[in-house]
């Protein structure tokens, strides 16, 4: 099998509010929610068609971790949600109240718009060029 990235940690304020946002607004699947101890859970989410990588939701437990919530990448886009139907997913996300920071635009690599999750982390919704020929 070789090496692969399995999970990327996303620091959150609260497990349940994060699960609700990602499953309801972004249509992610809750893959695992296991209590580790009274304070900690092992919570894994991923887009419905994800094969390799998922997000591990980690509740902040100290001031340093809380200070990173929503700014894990220093204000840069830190997460990239690929889609095979940009306009369909874009409209669904708008309907569910997802906050887009930029309007959709055509780039050499595809159709893209930046959105913020419930904590302010920046994400690209991106339909790569090979499938970016659809019109709204």
28-53 confidence digits (pLDDT tens): 999 999 999 988 999 999 999 888 89
What is the structure's pLDDT at 131?
58
pLDDT of residue 133: 53
Per the structure, how many domains does the chain have? Answer: 2
Q: Are 20 and 58 within one domain?
A: yes
CATH number at residue 56: 3.10.180.10
Is 123 in the same domain as 95? yes
Cα 46 to Cα 16: distance, rounded to the nearest angstrom: 15
The four Cα atoms 50, 10, 13, 103 give a dihedral, to 10 degrees, of: -70
Residue 1: predicted pLDDT: 66
Residues 4, 56: one domain? yes
The contacts of residue 44 (CB under 8 Å, 6+ apart) are 7, 30, 31, 32, 33, 54, 55, 56, 57
Q: How far apart are CA 114 and CA 101, in angstroms?
A: 5
Average pLDDT over residues 85-105: 97
For the entire predicted model, the pTM comes to 0.90
The confidence score (pLDDT) of residue 130 equals 75
pLDDT digits (tens, 9 = 90+) for 2-19: 898 999 999 999 999 999
| Residue 73, pLDDT above cutoff 90 | yes
pLDDT above 60: residue 106: yes
């Amino acid at each position: 099998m070789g090496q692969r990235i399995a999970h990327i940690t996303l620091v959150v304020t609260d497990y349940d509010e994060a699960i609700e946002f990602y499953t309801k607004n972004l249509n992610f699947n809750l893959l695992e929610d296991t209590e580790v101890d009274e304070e900690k859970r092992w919570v894994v989410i991923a887009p419905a068609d994800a094969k390799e990588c998922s997000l591990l939701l980690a509740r902040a437990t100290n001031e340093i971790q809380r200070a990173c919530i929503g700014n894990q990448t220093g204000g840069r886009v830190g997460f990239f949600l690929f889609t095979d139907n940009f306009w369909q997913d874009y409209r669904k996300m708008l309907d569910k109240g997802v906050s887009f920071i930029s309007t959709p635009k055509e780039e050499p690599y595809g159709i893209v718009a930046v959105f913020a999750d419930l904590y302010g982390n920046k994400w690209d919704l991106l339909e790569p060029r090979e499938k970016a020929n659809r019109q709204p």
